[in-house]
Structure 1
Amino acid sequence: MKKELLSLTLGAMLTVGAAGTAAAKVEGDTIILGSSISLTGKYATNGLHTQRGYDYAVDVINAAGGVKVGGKSYKLAVKYYDDESTPARGAQLAERLIQQDGVDYMLGPYSSGMVKAIAPVSEKFGVPMVEAEGASRSLFTQGYKYLFAVLSTSEQYLATAIDMAAASTSDPKSIRVAMAFEGDPFSMDVRAGVVDKINEYGMKTIIDDQLPADLSDMSTTLTKVKALKPDILIVSGHSKGAATAARQIDEMKVNVPMIAMTHCEAAKVQEKFPKTSTGFLCPTQWVETLSKSDPMFGSAAEWNAGFKKAYPSYTSVPYQSAQASAAVYVWKEAFEAANSFDKDTVRDAIAAVEMETFYGDIKFSENGNNIAKPMFMRQIGADSSYSLVEKFGDMTFPRNVNY
């Protein structure tokens, strides 16, 4: 049997309803959310960040009294299976959660590719899924009625870096761009947003590579970068790709004036490669200095402090954990608004969610994506700290690492 985890020890198996609604799978006084999550394989790092975000939110909500439905208080728990970072396995496990384990409420997996594999399963069985880690805009053009995402869509991730490069010169058309992307749905959407901006400014793309599937080597691209000397290097390959890029930029002594990549924080590039990563531009879904708050978690800074207390190994909390907690919070609000465990009633309550949270504003379009929250850009400083970049003048540019 594959690794199976439960965030709370559960009592006897019961199927109950509330407030006269149709029966739904609840175990005793505990509402079970299910998730196929990457605990091994190439997405394991972010899978763990996601799982911890889910579990932290569950702990905070339960400590505050849980979820009230039909005049009764319920605890939350999450049943996990390890999808091994494999889409086919994720789809299989999602069906197992729904069909064999009786889970009626899903939390998403990690990555757009995994959500792409699992969404048809939850849709087939009419099981609502609130996901936090699949940002590909293509997920929200399929007509899904049971898929909801708290995060901003992926075409926004690195487009701002191109805006910043354009602002650095009086002649944006002179900017020469190098790109390297993983071939998964998320990274391809990030690339599409970047390409749209490149075309808008009339810049020249001199390298447009796809990273190898295992994300373990980008030396071929970096060799070309050293030879062609682009003005900006754009990289997107989740945590493993970011770690590989930072490591090989260091090993190969690559110096590009502007480098922007996804997943800096999750890959901890500022800790592992402090000199090389100085000046990196890193898109983020969330920042702990955000002036947003909610009654459950408090402010962004308070959520950040609480999470670090629960998981003291983090010096900088990745946004993947924050948005995972936000997804659990959406479930609490939806259950209470629906006052029901009926899947379709709860689904409609999710669709109607409009709330401010420590993570930012959440409001779903009819396609299920969050239309109330922007992306942010941060730059790694010489002391390995992150600084929020709100305008071009906030940047240290050009990036200059002397080897």
Structure 2
Amino acid sequence: MTRSPRPSTVLFGVALLVLAGCVPDRDDKNDSGTTTIPDTIVIGSTLPLTGTESKTGGRFKQGYELAVELENADGGIDLGGKKVPVRLNLLDDTTDQAKAVNLAQRLITQDKVNFFLGTYSTAVVEAQSTVAEQNKIPYVNGGGAATSIYAKGFTWVFGTLAPVANLASTEMSWIDQQQAAGKLPKPARVAIVWENTSHGKDFRKGVQDFTAAHSGGYQVVTDESFALDGKDFSAILSRVRAAHADLLMVDAHLPDFITMQRQYLSSDMCSKVLTYGARGTESDARSALGADGVNYILSAVWWNKQLGNAGLNKEFVDTFTAKYGTDPEWYQALGYEAARSLFTAIAQAGTVDKEQVRAKLSALSMDSILPGGTLSYPADKGGQADYPFVVQQNLPDGSSPIIYPADVATGTGVAPNPACKG
């Protein structure tokens, strides 16, 4: 027969539950309101680890985890003379906005994480960052580049990705040089094809602003948007072909880039210049499309391993390659720098007090592997980093050299695409 618990046992269990509800939150403030030093600094995060963006989510995971591993190599972050290890509490949001919001809410309010590293994909970051702002917890992300994220007046949200409009204008600057050298027609006929998101709208604006500022040099002949995760781009591509565009300027996430490029190739299209924004050099694309299927694609990115073979950049590349057996791409680099900037701010604050760490992030200026060599989150940009892009191009020998700007170039770009006739 099962024996009923004694009243004293029940009361003891209830007392434990009550005490559990009174455990200090992750700010570890004692009764006097003074912040104490925790045994572990817990960083919450979500990423798309399954679903259509899982490959990119996996790359950001690598960047986050490498930063945590290196930070813990000598004991963790120094808080007032005590080394405190970092733990990453990472969940799968499947690129679903509602799920990302709910998981962030849970990590912040129930799991009591100290700080937050953001997810990937502009739309999901935009939704999730609202939770961080409402709960007043520092939120640093490497996966959201749209200016709309940083135009809301939020003070707890920080982004390592420079604006997508700058990406487009940087590509156009290289194209303009080729036109001035007589390699491209003037005026050049431009097709703008963009994902119907804040990310895509920023890209479109970057191209439009550049062409408007260079009157006589460019004529926009196609301006088309598409929904994310598209399966059939044949109608859009047919209209681009009919418009006789010289430049096909596309903004697309990795899955849409691969799908659209496959259909572009199967229709025997050939543009004098072709870009998919920041996509083009990924190993997944070469695997899916074949080496010849990505030749001469132009891309502008937030980081490239060729940016330097010394200092922080070399340390990151060498350590990453040793750990994962492959070269890092910009995705891992941005995740790594997002985490590293958060750890730097915590160390500068010497505490896990959220407001003090937020203030250090706002004032941050740290040496970085990113273009320009410095990472900061300027208030006049809403906490969004702002630094130069680098333009790279896939060449038939399998390389993807940086071709612009000249001071960091590691190779020479090709225009027009030599495979095009006429």
Residue in 2 that maps onto 1:255: 270
Q: 1:157 to 1:234 in 2, by over 3 A?
A: same
Per the TM alignment, residue 291 of structure 1 is displaced from its structure 2 partner at its CA by: 3.6
Point out the structure with the larger helix share. 2
Residues 347-362 of structure 1 mapped to structure 2, 5 A cutoff? 347-359=358-370, 360-362=373-375
Residue in 2 that maps onto 1:307: 320
Q: Is 2:212 the partner of 1:199?
A: yes
Per the TM alignment, residue 259 of structure 1 is displaced from its structure 2 partner at its CA by: 0.4
Does structure 1 retain, via aligned residues, the 8 Å contact 2:304–2:330?
Answer: yes
State, as a whole percentage, how many aligned pairs show the same letter.
26
Does structure 2 retain, via aligned residues, the 8 Å contact 1:180–1:235?
Answer: yes
Query: TM-score by structure 1 length?
Result: 0.88
Residue in 2 that maps onto 1:190: 203
Residue in 1 that maps onto 2:12: none
Per the TM alignment, residue 247 of structure 1 is displaced from its structure 2 partner at its CA by: 1.6
Q: Distance in 1 between matches of 2:176 and 2:402?
A: 19
2:223 aligned to 183, 186, 208, which one?
A: 208
Q: Is 2:279 the partner of 1:269?
A: no
Residue in 1 that maps onto 2:91: 81
SS in 1 for 2:83: strand
Does structure 2 retain, via aligned residues, the 8 Å contact 1:21–1:341?
Answer: no
Residue in 1 that maps onto 2:297: 280
Q: Distance in 2 between matches of 1:308 and 1:113?
A: 31
Q: Distance in 2 between matches of 1:387 and 1:209?
A: 30
Q: Deviations over 1:92-150 (max 9, x none)?
A: 11111111111130001102111110111101110011111111112221111001112
Q: Is 2:146 the partner of 1:130?
A: no
1:149 aligned to 141, 144, 159, which one?
A: 159
SS in 2 for 1:169: helix
Residues 10-159 of structure 1 mapped to structure 2, 5 A cutoff? 17=28, 22-23=34-35, 26=38, 29-159=39-169
Residue in 1 that maps onto 2:256: 241
Output the amino acid matched with 1:59.
E
Does structure 1 retain, via aligned residues, the 8 Å contact 2:35–2:351?
Answer: no
Give the total of aligned pairs: 383
Deviates more, 1:282-291 or 1:391-400: 391-400
Larger radius of gyration: 2
Point out the structure with the larger strand share. 1
Give the CA RMSD over aligned residues.
Answer: 2.5
Output the amino acid matched with 1:305.
D
Q: 1:116 to 1:198 in 2, by over 3 A?
A: same
Q: 1:175 to 1:402 in 2, by over 3 A?
A: closer
Does structure 2 retain, via aligned residues, the 8 Å contact 1:177–1:205?
Answer: yes
SS in 2 for 1:42: coil
Q: Distance in 2 between matches of 1:192 and 1:150?
A: 20
Gaps of 5+ in 1: 1-11
Residue in 2 that maps onto 1:4: none
Per the TM alignment, residue 68 of structure 1 is displaced from its structure 2 partner at its CA by: 0.8
Q: Distance in 2 between matches of 1:53 and 1:370?
A: 18
Residue in 2 that maps onto 1:368: 383
Query: TM-score by structure 2 length?
Result: 0.84
Per the TM alignment, residue 329 of structure 1 is displaced from its structure 2 partner at its CA by: 0.8
Q: Is 2:393 the partner of 1:386?
A: no
Does structure 2 retain, via aligned residues, the 8 Å contact 1:233–1:256?
Answer: yes
Residue in 2 that maps onto 1:328: 339
Q: Distance in 1 between matches of 2:269 and 2:290?
A: 13
Q: Distance in 2 between matches of 1:14 and 1:183?
A: 40
2:191 aligned to 170, 178, 183, which one?
A: 178
Per the TM alignment, residue 228 of structure 1 is displaced from its structure 2 partner at its CA by: 2.9
Does structure 2 retain, via aligned residues, the 8 Å contact 1:38–1:85?
Answer: yes
Q: 1:299 to 1:175 in 2, by over 3 A?
A: same
Residue in 1 that maps onto 2:5: none
1:226 aligned to 230, 241, 244, which one?
A: 241
Per the TM alignment, residue 319 of structure 1 is displaced from its structure 2 partner at its CA by: 0.3
SS in 1 for 2:223: strand
Output the amino acid matched with 1:336.
A
Does structure 2 retain, via aligned residues, the 8 Å contact 1:23–1:342?
Answer: yes
Output the amino acid matched with 1:354.
S
SS in 2 for 1:210: strand
Per the TM alignment, residue 72 of structure 1 is displaced from its structure 2 partner at its CA by: 1.1
Q: Distance in 2 between matches of 1:104 and 1:115?
A: 19
Residue in 2 that maps onto 1:396: 414
Q: 1:255 to 1:16 in 2, by over 3 A?
A: closer
Q: Distance in 2 between matches of 1:51 and 1:266?
A: 16
Q: Distance in 1 between matches of 2:165 and 2:196?
A: 14
Does structure 1 retain, via aligned residues, the 8 Å contact 2:191–2:223?
Answer: yes
Output the amino acid matched with 2:369.
F
SS in 2 for 1:208: strand
Q: Distance in 2 between matches of 1:137 and 1:32?
A: 29
Q: 1:245 to 1:58 in 2, by over 3 A?
A: same
Per the TM alignment, residue 166 of structure 1 is displaced from its structure 2 partner at its CA by: 2.7
Output the amino acid matched with 1:191.
R
